[in-house]
């Protein structure tokens, strides 16, 4: 085997192999694999990055799993409250993999200034609310402290609403709320403590975040009532399993629904990215494989004298086929190395500077997000090399058809 590696290596040395045809063919093969690998890495990074970023944005406002009354699930407004005193709050006893359980309630209203007004959904949270998913979207100001038992008039408002209403950080803004059964709107004055920007228009144009106690007072609830609970998981990949487990651990009067079921159109759209990525990878690998088949055929035809002499000396077809497959592996390896360097370099620059822009109305983000882990990179490189080498087992069969007598007679 070591001798086979040595022979394959010597055949590729520029000083040994000065064939005018195979040299440019080999360079073209290396370039095609390098470009293909670069495109595949960027496709995977942007596809996975977009999926992850949009999931993060939705989770920041809705959690991963919502527990509430059945008639609250299809509406952004709390219709009927539930008790805060639940066996699973603030922590599930039998379900693992849960980061936090947080109470919330929502109420519809209108923010009004002298010249403008905007319809909003006020989302109230308490001191146990987990802000870890939300913090990356806070652009100015700070998150209010809701740990005090006193009423807190501080709110978080989106940059979109701030610009539409021509407001600034720390400004005070009046809000009007009308609850069912009440004819007169209730006025509250809020102070802007922080500004967020998710780039997700469905949330940015509607939601302001404040204290749960404010919603309880507006609805005339007691302190023991809330609109529902949001569950934050440690691992998003466990969403379907944990949704079923949580449903089994909650009372029959409450429903458990995941963000996939709450926002089916968005998650079905995100699921299409997996198919698109797979399609791109398949096409590029197929093209790279065809280029390598051509390269190997050219090498075999140009090295027919070498093949004939080796056969005369007693070499078996399998050994000669292995030598050319080792040659092909060298070429593939060089192409993959260059492709990884270029692809990961572009991904790093995009992550650092975000020079590739997207339309937020279509993709919900302003710059193309990127995400790849070492496992993805390894599996892609290993898979590409393995598939192309498997494709090359067909063209090397031509070695068995080469007759030493005919080749040496005419050459």
Q: Are residues 91 and 150 in the same domain?
A: yes
Q: Are residues 96 and 187 in the same domain?
A: yes
Specify the pLDDT at position 15: 38
- Going by C-beta distance under 8 Å and a sequence separation of 6 or more, which residues neighbour residue 343? 37, 38, 39, 40, 41, 42, 45
**Rounded-to-integer distance, Cα 186 and Cα 171, Å:** 20
CB neighbour burial string for 228-238, b if at least 16 within 10 angstroms, e if fewer: bbbbbbeeeee
> Number of folded domains in the chain?
2
Q: Are residues 24 and 149 in the same domain?
A: no
Q: Are residues 212 and 123 in the same domain?
A: yes
**Rounded-to-integer distance, Cα 393 and Cα 328, Å:** 11
Q: Are residues 103 and 50 in the same domain?
A: no
Specify the pLDDT at position 283: 93
Specify the pLDDT at position 175: 94
Specify the pLDDT at position 386: 94
Q: Check residue 353 and report its DSSP letter.
A: H
Residue 231 lies in a domain: no
Residue 249 lies in a domain: no
Specify the pLDDT at position 69: 87
Q: Are residues 24 and 142 in the same domain?
A: no
Q: What is the span of the domain harbouring residue 209?
A: 81-226
Q: How many angstroms separate the Cα of 242 from the Cα of each of 67, 136, 234, 264?
A: 12, 25, 11, 18
Q: Are residues 309 and 185 in the same domain?
A: no
Q: pLDDT tens digits, the chain, 411 residues: what are they?
A: 555 555 555 555 543 344 555 678 888 889 999 999 999 999 999 999 999 988 888 888 889 999 988 876 555 688 789 999 998 998 998 899 999 999 999 999 999 888 888 999 999 998 889 898 899 899 999 999 888 778 889 999 999 999 999 999 999 999 999 876 666 888 999 999 999 998 888 788 889 999 999 999 999 899 899 999 999 999 999 999 999 999 999 988 898 999 999 889 889 988 888 898 999 999 999 999 999 998 888 888 887 777 777 777 777 878 888 888 888 898 999 999 999 999 999 999 999 998 888 887 777 788 889 998 999 999 999 999 999 999 998 888 887 777 766 666 555
Q: Are residues 401 and 275 in the same domain?
A: yes
Q: How many angstroms separate the Cα of 113 from the Cα of each of 124, 197, 349?
A: 22, 21, 42
Specify the pLDDT at position 314: 74
Specify the pLDDT at position 327: 86
**Rg of the chain, C-alpha, whole Å:** 31
Tell me which of 208, 226, 244 is where a domain ends: 226
Q: Helix, strand, coil: what percent of the chain each, to 5?
A: 55, 20, 30
Tell me which of 226, 259, 276 is where a domain ends: 226
Contact 130, 60 (CB under 8 A): no
Q: Are residues 289 and 382 in the same domain?
A: yes
**Rounded-to-integer distance, Cα 91 and Cα 212, Å:** 19
> What are the backbone angles phi and psi of residue 357, rounded to the nearest 5°?
-100, 150
**Rounded-to-integer distance, Cα 394 and Cα 359, Å:** 46
DSSP 252-299: TTEEEEEHHHHSHHHHHHHHHHHHHHHHHHHHHHHHHHHHHHHHHHHH
Tell me which of 202, 226, 250 is where a domain ends: 226
Which pTM does this prediction carry?
0.81
Residue 220 lies in a domain: yes
Q: Are residues 398 and 294 in the same domain?
A: yes
């Amino acid at each position: 085997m070591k001798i086979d590696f040595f022979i394959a290596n010597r055949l590729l040395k520029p000083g040994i192999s000065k064939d005018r045809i195979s040299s440019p063919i080999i360079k073209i093969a290396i370039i095609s694999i390098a470009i293909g690998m670069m495109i595949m890495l960027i496709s995977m990074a942007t596809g996975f990055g977009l999926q992850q970023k949009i999931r993060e944005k939705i989770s920041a406002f809705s959690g991963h799993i919502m527990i509430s009354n059945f008639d609250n699930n299809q509406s952004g407004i709390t219709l009927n409250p539930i008790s805060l005193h639940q066996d699973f709050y603030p922590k599930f006893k039998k379900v693992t993999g849960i980061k936090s359980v947080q109470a919330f309630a929502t109420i519809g209203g209108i923010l009004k200034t002298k010249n403008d007004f905007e319809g909003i959904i006020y989302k109230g949270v308490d001191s146990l609310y987990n802000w870890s998913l939300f913090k990356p979207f806070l652009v100015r100001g700070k998150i209010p402290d809701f740990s005090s038992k006193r009423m807190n008039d501080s709110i978080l408002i989106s940059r979109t609403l701030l610009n539409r209403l021509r407001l600034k950080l720390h400004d005070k803004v009046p809000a009007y709320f009308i609850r069912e059964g009440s004819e007169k709107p209730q006025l509250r004055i809020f102070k802007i403590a922080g500004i967020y920007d998710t780039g997700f228009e469905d949330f940015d144009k509607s939601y302001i975040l404040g204290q749960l106690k404010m919603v309880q007072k507006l609805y005339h609830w007691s302190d023991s009532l809330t609109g529902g609970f949001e569950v934050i998981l440690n691992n998003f990949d466990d969403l379907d399993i944990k949704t079923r487990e949580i449903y089994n651990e909650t009372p029959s009067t409450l429903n458990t629904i995941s963000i996939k079921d709450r926002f089916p159109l968005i998650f079905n759209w995100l699921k299409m990215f997996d198919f698109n990525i797979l399609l791109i990878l398949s096409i590029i690998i197929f093209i790279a494989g065809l280029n390598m088949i051509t390269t190997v055929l050219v090498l075999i035809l140009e090295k027919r004298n070498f093949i004939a002499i080796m056969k005369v000396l007693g070499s078996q077809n399998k050994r000669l086929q292995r030598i050319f497959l080792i040659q092909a592996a060298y070429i593939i390896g060089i192409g993959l190395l260059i492709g990884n360097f270029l692809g990961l370099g572009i991904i790093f620059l995009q992550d650092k500077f975000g020079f590739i822009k997207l339309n937020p109305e279509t993709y919900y983000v302003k710059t193309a997000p990127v995400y790849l882990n070492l496992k993805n990179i390894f599996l892609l490189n290993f898979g590409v090399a393995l598939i192309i080498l498997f494709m090359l087992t067909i063209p090397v069969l031509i070695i068995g058809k080469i007759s030493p007598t005919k080749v040496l007679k005419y050459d």
